Amino acid sequence: MNLVLHVSKQLANAFGLLLAVLVLNFCLIHAAPGDPALVIAGEMGGASADVIAALRVKYGLDKSMLEQLFTYLGKVTTGDFGYSYYFNEPVLGLIGQRIPATLYLVLSALAMSVVIGTLLGIISARKPNGLFSQGVTVISLAGYAAPVFWTGLMLLLLFGSVWPILPVTGMTDVARPKAGLAYVLDVMQHLVLPATTLGLVYIAQYSRLARVNMIDALTADYVRTARAKGLPEIIVIGKHALRNTLIPIVTVAGLQFGHLFAGAVLVETVFSWPGMGRLVFESILRRDYPTLLAVLFFSAVLVMAANIVTDLVYRLVDPRIRSGGR
C-alpha cells in the first residue's frame, strides 16, 4: 500500500479516536464525585454560599453538562484548553512545560528496557539452560513482579540515604547551570533512578520475549542456510537472527507506550519528577478538571503518535508488511 495513503488513513483514525477521548473523559469526570467550586472555595480558605454560587457562574459550572461539553470542545478546537484554577496559569502552557520531562522519562525507560532486555534475552538464548539464562529468568521475574512504586521507594532509600551517589528528587539541581552540556548532564543524572525504576518492569518482558524469539530464530532454516554459507557467527546472529527477533519486540514496544505513561504517574510521584504523570496526580487531588482533561488528551495524542511510529518502524523492519505480501 502507498505509504502516504497509509499514514493519512492512520491520522484520520487517530483524529476520530481523539475526539472520542475528549468526549468520554469529559463525561467520566463529570460523573465522578466532587465539586470543583467547593475545592476552589476551600483553597480560598472557605467561602459563603453566595461566593460559591458566584464561582459556579464564573466558571460556567451552573450550565447543563451538554452545554459545558460543547463549550469545551469549541474552545479546544481553537487550542484553548482552559485555565488551571489550582496552578493559576493557562493549561496549555502548563502542559508544554511538563511534556518534555515525561517524554525524557518514558523514552529513556523504553530505550533502556528494549536495549538491555533484548541483549539479555539474546545472550541467554545462546545457552537457554545455562546459568546466565536462569539468572536472567529469576531477575526478570522479580523485576516484573515488584510493583513500580515499591521498586522506586527502595531505590530512593538505597541511593538517597544508604549510598547517596545519585540525586533522588526533581529533574535538575538548583545550584547548577540551566544551559549547555552541564544542564544535559544534570538532567541525565536525575533521570537515572526514575528511568531505571520504570524500565525494570519492562526489561523483564523484553528479555523473555527476546529470549524465546531468538531461540526460535536460531533453529530456523534461514539461520542454518547462513551457517551453510560460511558466514561468521556475528553476521549469522547479528544480521539474520536478530532482525527476525526484533519484529515482535517492535510490536510490543509500541503497544506498551501507553502502559509506560501509566507507570510514569507513579514514578514521577515517587521521585518528584516534574512531568505529566505528576500533573495528573496533582490535578486529580485538586479536582483541577481543565488540567486533568488536557493531560489525558495529550497523553492520548502521544500514545497514538507512538502507535503510528511503531507501525512505520514495523514496515521498515519487515518487508512482508511493506508490500502487503502473503
Partner 1 sequence: MPPVLSVKDLSVSMNGTKGMVPVLEHLSFDVAQGKTMALVGESGCGKSMTALAIMQLLPEDFRVTSGSILLDGVEVLSASPKELRSLRGNKMSMIFQEPMTALNPLYTVGNQIGEVLRQRRGLSRRDAHAQAIQFLKAVQIPAADKRVDAYPHQLSGGMRQRVMIAMALACKPKLLIADEPTTALDVTVQAQIFDLLSELQDDTDTAIVLITHDLGAVAELADDVAVLYAGRCIEQGAADEIIAHARHPYTRGLMACVPHLQLGRAIDHLAAALDEIPGMVPPLGARGPDCAFLPRCAFASEICRAQPQPPLDRINAGAAVSCWRHQEIAPGAMA
Stretch that binds partner 1, among 69-77, 235-243, 262-270, 295-303 (CB under 8 A): 235-243
* Residue 325 near partner 1 by CB under 8 A: yes
Within 10 Å of residue 110's Cβ, how many Cβ atoms?
21
Cell of 260: 509506560
Q: Give how far the C-alpha of residue 175 lies from the chain's centroid of Cα atoms, to the nearest Å.
A: 29
Q: How many residues does the chain have?
A: 326
* Residue 1 near partner 1 by CB under 8 A: no
- What is the smallest separation between the CB atom of 105 and partner 1, expressed in angstroms? 32
* Residue 252 near partner 1 by CB under 8 A: no
Non-local (6+) Cβ contacts of 137 within 8 A are 124, 208
Given the complex with partner 1, which of 101 and 215 has the nearer CB atom? 215
Among 30, 58, 176, 229, which residue interacts with partner 1 (rule: CB under 8 A)?
Answer: 229
Given the complex with partner 1, which of 9 and 227 has the nearer CB atom? 227
- What is the smallest separation between the CB atom of 128 and partner 1, expressed in angstroms? 10
* Residue 224 near partner 1 by CB under 8 A: yes
Among 8, 13, 71, 225, which residue interacts with partner 1 (rule: CB under 8 A)?
Answer: 225
* Residue 220 near partner 1 by CB under 8 A: yes
Among 9, 30, 58, 243, which residue interacts with partner 1 (rule: CB under 8 A)?
Answer: 243
Stretch that binds partner 1, among 62-70, 116-124, 229-237, 248-256 (CB under 8 A): 229-237
Backbone φ and ψ for 89, nearest 5 degrees, come out as -150, 165
Give which of 96, 108, 152 is closest to 268, Cα–Cα.
152
Cα gap 120→205, rounded to integer Å = 11
* Residue 9 near partner 1 by CB under 8 A: no
- What is the smallest separation between the CB atom of 226 and partner 1, expressed in angstroms? 7
Residue showing cell 483524529: 15
* Residue 228 near partner 1 by CB under 8 A: yes
Using a 10 angstrom Cβ sphere, with 0-12 exposed, 13-18 middle and 19 or more buried, the burial of residue 79 is exposed
Task: Say how many residues touch partner 1, by CB under 8 A.
Answer: 26
Give which of 283, 280, 297, 288 is closest to 35, Cα–Cα.
288
* Residue 130 near partner 1 by CB under 8 A: no
Among 231, 301, 308, 312, which residue interacts with partner 1 (rule: CB under 8 A)?
Answer: 231
* Residue 321 near partner 1 by CB under 8 A: no
3-state helix, strand, coil in the chain (%, to 5): 80, 0, 20
- What is the smallest separation between the CB atom of 233 and partner 1, expressed in angstroms? 8
Cα gap 249→75, rounded to integer Å = 40
- What is the smallest separation between the CB atom of 178 and partner 1, expressed in angstroms? 45
- What is the smallest separation between the CB atom of 227 and partner 1, expressed in angstroms? 6
Given the complex with partner 1, which of 80 and 311 has the nearer CB atom? 311
Residue showing cell 492512520: 10
What are the DSSP calls for 81-137, one per residue?
A: --EETTTTEEHHHHHHHHHHHHHHHHHHHHHHHHHHHHHHHHHHHHSTTSHHHHHHH
Tell me which residues touch partner 1 (CB under 8 A): 219-222, 224-233, 235, 239-240, 243-244, 317-320, 323, 325-326
